[in-house]
Amino acid sequence: MAFTINVNGKTQTVDVPGDMPLLWVLRDKLELKGTKFGCGVASCGACTVHIDGAPARSCVTPISSVGAGVVTTIEAVGDSPTGRAVQAAWVEVDVPQCGYCQAGQVMAATALLSTTPKPTDRQIDDAMAGNACRCATYVRIRKAIKTAAGLPTADTREA
């Protein structure tokens, strides 16, 4: 059936089954390949998008549940100052290895900084623990979030 959704500021209509996850609508119907498939069960965070600014796992979000929610994907996250700062910090800190999870990491980090502009290490852990990085670039993800936030970058969890 037809669903009309708002993705990256554009209204789009797709004709798909109602249980098709937003992830596959984005990837295979709207050809927005930046949002990644990792697990299909909201266990890895690779598919993270924003719906009305909040992080959502698009792999378990049926298209029928999106409604009027404003969907933002990695392709447009740089349109916001926070998203742009996060992207710049990711480049500055040279975070990625394979890079596959990083779209989800950038989306999760942007959502964190949008609500918590100066996060503590604990807040970073809580907000980012749902996003797995198989290359384990976690030292740099933490550093990049702090860089984007304008915070000192040392890991303070031990103290």
Partner 1 sequence: MPLDTPFGADNGAPATAPVDASRRTFLKIGAAAGGGLMLSLAACATPTDTDGAATLATAPAAPPAPLEEINAFVAISPTGKIRIMAKNPEIGQGVKTMLPMLIAEELDADWSAVDIEQAMADAALYGTAASGGMQFAGGSRATPSTWLPLRRLGAATRQVLLQAAAQTWGVPVGELTTGPSVVIHAASNRRATYGELATAAAALPAPDDEMMKTVALKDEASFRIIGKSVKQWDTPRIVRGEPMFGIDMVVPGMKYAVFEQCGVWGGKVVSANLDEVKAVPGVVDAFIVRQVGDDLAPLIDGTNLGLLDGVAIVADDWWTAKTAREKVLKVVWDEGASRTDSSAGFDAKAAELAKGAPQSVLNEKGDVAAAMKAAAKTVEASYSYPFLPHATLEPQNCTARINADGTAEFWSTTQLPEPGRGLVAKVLGVEQSAIKIHMIRAGGGFGRRLANDYMAQAAAIAKHSGHPVKLLWTREDDMRHDHYRPGGYHNFKAALDKAGAMTAMTNHFVTFKRGTRPANSAQLSPAEFPAGFIPAHSYGMSMIEFGVPTGPLRAPESNGVCFAYQSFLDEVAHAAGKDPLAFRLELLSAQTEGPAAGGFSAQRMYDVVKLVGERSGWANRTSLPKGTGMGVAFYYSHLGYFAHVAKVKVEPSGQWRVQKVWVVGDIGKHVINPTGAANQAEGSVIDGVGEMLQTITIENGRTKQANFFDMPLIRINQAPDVDVHFHITDNAPTGLGEPALPPAPPAVTNAIFAATGKRIRQLPVVTSSLRWT
Return the residue of 3, 142, 146, 149 that touches partner 1, per CB under 8 A: 142
Question: Residue 44 and residue 59: Cα distance in Å, rounded?
Answer: 10
- What tokens appear for 35 in the block? 């949002």
The CB density around residue 41, as the number of other CB atoms within 10 Å, is 9
Q: Which of residues 27-86 bind partner 1 (CB under 8 A)?
A: 28-41, 43-44, 46, 73-75, 77-78, 86
Examine residue 116 and tell whether it contacts partner 1 (CB under 8 A).
Answer: no
Task: Enumerate residues 6+ apart whose C-beta is below 8 A from 46.
Answer: 35, 36, 37, 38, 39, 100, 101, 103, 104, 131, 132
Examine residue 129 and tell whether it contacts partner 1 (CB under 8 A).
Answer: yes
Return the residue of 64, 65, 80, 99 that touches partner 1, per CB under 8 A: 99
Nearer to partner 1, 118 or 134 (CB): 134
Residue 98: exposed, middle, or buried by beta-carbon count in 10 A (0-12, 13-18, 19+)?
exposed
Examine residue 120 and tell whether it contacts partner 1 (CB under 8 A).
Answer: no
Chain residues that interact with partner 1, rule: CB under 8 A: 16-17, 19-21, 24, 28-41, 43-44, 46, 73-75, 77-78, 86-87, 90-91, 94-103, 106, 124-126, 128-142, 155, 157-158
